[in-house]
Amino acid sequence: MSELALFGGERIRKKPFAAGACIGDEERQRVSQVLEEGVLSGFIAKKGDYFLGGKQVREFEGLVKDYFPCKHAVSVNSATAGLHVALGACGIGPGDEVIVPPYTMSATATAVLMQGAIPVFADIEEERCCLDPQKIEERVTSRTRAIIVVHLFGYPAKMDDIMVVAKRHGLKVVEDCAQAPGTEFKGKRVGTFGDAGVFSLNQHKTVTSGEGGFVITGDDRLALRMQLMRNHGEVIVDDFGIPEHYDIVGYNYRMTELEAAVATGQFRRLDSLTRHRIDLAEYLMKKLSGFKGLMLPKADGNKHVYFVFPMRFLEKEAGMSREDFVRALVAEGIPVAAGYVKPIYLASYYQKGFVKGQPVRDFYGKGICPVCERMHEKEFLCTGVCRHPHTKEDMDDVVAAVGKVFANRHEFKTS
């Protein structure tokens, strides 16, 4: 009988890896306080003290401002809402083009569509899976108005080069930091380079309020416009008496007091939870460094927070296919996935031409972002085990399983 669990052998990992958020006493106490007081949302859609929400929301926003530091923090009920208000505040509208990466959660591009604008996909770098600054330059046209930079998997994008491109062409920059709270590029926290930085607090993130998010900015005008979009702005903008904001259409993107209560307790532990992820990831990298064909992440002197542990799998060097490698690891009890998400432009919405009535060029054909397609179809894989409450002993199971699979790769047919 084979030693591999996939073919009937005994599996390395006998128990599942832990799932769920790391909830502490502060979150429980804050939620209890909100329930006792009975004010579950402090927002009122009119000018005045509660235009900016209740005390839990304001305390959370203050904590965020101190952490980055930044002049303004605008809480929202999701990072998708955060992307939407950031683009709206920047004045992005129908017919405008916004350059986005194709390898990201769909909301990065959907937020562009929500403003009636056109997402234009630029390819990624193979080592970081973030936007390639040179490919951004190639996508700029007379209609381009903004770039959304995604700091994917906890990697920082090359913000110095990207900001040079943005400045040269007069483009707004929105940083999608949903997977990168605490990530740093050349000693500076992501989210503070561009015009706005958007963060997520949904259930899968390092710190969470179940759903939720926030946007940071140093621009007074953008902050007010985002706050108006968050809170039914079109019916209350007259109260502010500022004609330049009459183009705002508002939504209900408000964070509840319950969400803010949880988010505050969670955010206070961001650095400790992130440090634990980094420690586990660095331990895992050291242990996996000798396996041929397995390309490990590189922080390059920057701070990578390892939302997931990303790898590249080179089939020729490894002597087996990526799919067989993943199937074998999963059978050993190790949660690992081949690829991430399909390049966004290959989704039916784009392929079947639903972006109509706009000056859309041939941006959505197969092959427009070859590096992204290669990463997704052939090379990229990841695992989410580098996080609380896991330990180095848990990482040892990952290493043992990888070693077992490589030692028995002869059992798989190779082309």
Domain of 303, CATH number, reads: 3.90.1150.10
The reply to whether 20 falls in a domain is: no
Looking up residue 194, the CATH number of its domain turns out to be 3.40.640.10
- Strands 337-338 and 309-313: what pairing? unpaired
CA dihedral sign, ordered 232, 234, 237, 243: positive
Q: What is the pLDDT of residue 240?
A: 84
Average pLDDT over residues 13-40: 94
Mean pLDDT along residues 352-367 = 65
End residue of a domain, out of 249, 267, 285: 267
How far apart, in whole angstroms, are the C-alpha atoms of residue 80 and residue 250?
A: 15
pLDDT of residue 11: 95
Residue 184 lies in a domain: yes
Q: Tell whether 226 and 364 lie within a shared domain.
A: no
The residue among 252, 267, 282 that closes a domain is 267
Please check the confidence at residue 360 and state whether its pLDDT lies above 50. no
Domain end residue (candidates: 211, 239, 267): 267
- The answer to whether residue 303 sits within a structural domain is yes
Q: Are residues 239 and 388 in the same domain?
A: no
Report the pLDDT averaged over residues 246-272.
96
Same domain, 52 and 151: yes
- 262 lies in the same domain as 359: no
Average pLDDT of the chain to the nearest whole number? 94
Per-residue model confidence (pLDDT) at position 157: 97
Confidence band for 349, pLDDT divided at 50, 70 and 90: confident
What pLDDT shows up at residue 242? 82
Domain-embedded: residue 9: no
Q: Are residues 256 and 288 in the same domain?
A: no
Q: What is the pLDDT of residue 354?
A: 63
User: In the predicted model, is pLDDT for residue 414 greater than 70?
Assistant: no
* Res. 359 pLDDT band, cuts 50 70 90: very low
At residue 352, the pLDDT reads: 75
The verdict on 236 and 355 lying in the same domain is no
Q: Which two tokens stand for residue 282?
A: 């660095």
Give the domain range for residue 348: 270-411
- Whether residue 309 has pLDDT greater than 80: yes
Q: Return the pLDDT at 23.
A: 93
Instruction: Convert the pLDDT of each residue in 282-291 to its tens digit.
Output: 999 999 999 9
